[in-house]
Amino acid sequence: MSNKIIEDLKTLIKALEIRLEADEITEAEYKELKEKYNAKLKEEVAALKEHSFLRNISYVSISGSGKVTDSYVSISGSGRIEGWRGGTISISGSGKVSDEEINISGSGTLPGDLKTDSLSVSGSFKAEGSVEAGKFLASGSFKVNGKLTINEQFASSGSGKIEGSLFAENASVVSSGTIKIKGDVICDSAELSGSYKISGSVECKNSFTSELNEKSRIEADLICGGDIYIEQDSRKGSLKVDKIKSAGEVYLEGVEANTVSGKRVKVGPECNIGSIEETG
């Protein structure tokens, strides 16, 4: 049920006429297929109206310029959307809000218990509670007052704060600025640089890489199903973690840890490791 399905059906109906003129189908086949596609088209249009984006909105206010359709609201200036899935979205700058996508340039406030396919923000924003998104792309600063669940991709540059855990079990996590996470990080792979402070554990299914250029901290354990590669850049940052456990190879620079285990473990400069166990 989407505008794309409707457009695809319209294209199929138009293509039937071309096929008929080219003698690719008979008149009887043309009538049968056209009736079938028209019936499906009516169903999709009715379903789209029934679940229209506007049915979830009780109030829209735009100061500046904007556009409101049955599938999205766009704002240039400042605006407020109330009742969208039980919450309020405010934008100062420019932005677009639809069932599939939220895009904010400038600053914005999002409701909690928010679920969207794509959340993209440049500037700053705050979510009043937990958020679930397919893709989460943030540049500037953000704060999520709850847990953040990611299904495809997480990428943050600038500064971010998550008051709960970051669940990205089948997604990559990339952070190149400053990030603070009050809970755990569970992901497919992680690539971290800048500064990070994680109050829980980090669990990566495949790989963990980090370029240390500031002081970073993982309060509990770093556990990885693949290789772990941590190196310092020219500013020689550091990472303090309780325990590192890898099913693959481990290379460390600037790391302080009580225990480290992996198939093969190589300790580089400026490390302070309590004990090392090689399992390979």
pLDDT for residue 15 is more than 90: no
Whether residues 210 and 260 fall in one domain: yes
pLDDT for residue 52 is more than 70: no
Whether residues 114 and 222 fall in one domain: yes
**Phi/psi of residue 23, each to 5°?**
60, 30
Long-range (24+ apart) CB contacts under 8 A made by 69-73 are: 71/3, 71/98, 71/99, 72/96, 72/97, 72/98, 72/101, 73/97, 73/98
Whether residues 45 and 107 fall in one domain: no
Query: Contact at 8 Å (CB) between 67 and 79?
Result: no
Whether residues 142 and 246 fall in one domain: yes
Whether residues 150 and 172 fall in one domain: yes
Whether residues 150 and 258 fall in one domain: yes
CA dist., res. 109 & res. 80, Å (int): 9
Whether residues 123 and 237 fall in one domain: yes
Q: Which of 51, 67, 90 is the last residue of a domain?
A: 51
CA dist., res. 170 & res. 278, Å (int): 28
Please indicate whether residue 249 or residue 83 has the higher confidence score (pLDDT): 249
CA 246-249-253 angle, 5° bins:
95
Query: Contact at 8 Å (CB) between 39 and 47?
Result: no
Strand intervals (E) in the chain: 59-68, 72-84, 87-98, 101-110, 114-127, 131-144, 148-162, 166-175, 178-181, 185-198, 202-212, 215-224, 228-232, 238-246, 249-252, 255-262, 264-267, 272-278
Write down the pLDDT at residue 263. Answer: 96
Q: Token pair for residue 264?
A: 């093969």
Write down the pLDDT at residue 47. Answer: 64
Whether residues 150 and 220 fall in one domain: yes
Average pLDDT over residues 226-230: 98
Q: Look at residues 271, 188, 278, 172 and name the one whose alpha carbon lies nearest to residue 225.
A: 188
- How many domains does the chain divide into? 2
Q: Among 55-59, 87-91, 126-130, 242-246, which stretch is predicted with the lowest mean pLDDT?
A: 55-59
Q: In this predicted model, what pLDDT tens digit does every residue of 204-226 receive, in sequence order?
A: 999 999 999 999 999 999 999 99
pLDDT tier at 77 (50, 70, 90 boundaries)? confident
Q: In this predicted model, what pLDDT tens digit does every residue of 254-278 receive, in sequence order?
A: 999 999 999 999 999 999 999 999 9
* Average of per-residue pLDDT values in the chain: 88
Q: In this predicted model, what pLDDT tens digit does every residue of 171-197 receive, in sequence order?
A: 999 999 999 999 999 999 999 998 999
Q: Which of 51, 66, 90 is the last residue of a domain?
A: 51
Whether residues 43 and 79 fall in one domain: no
Owning domain of residue 83:
58-278
pTM, to two decimals: 0.78
Whether residues 192 and 246 fall in one domain: yes
Write down the pLDDT at residue 55. Answer: 60
Whether residues 9 and 78 fall in one domain: no
Whether residues 90 and 37 fall in one domain: no
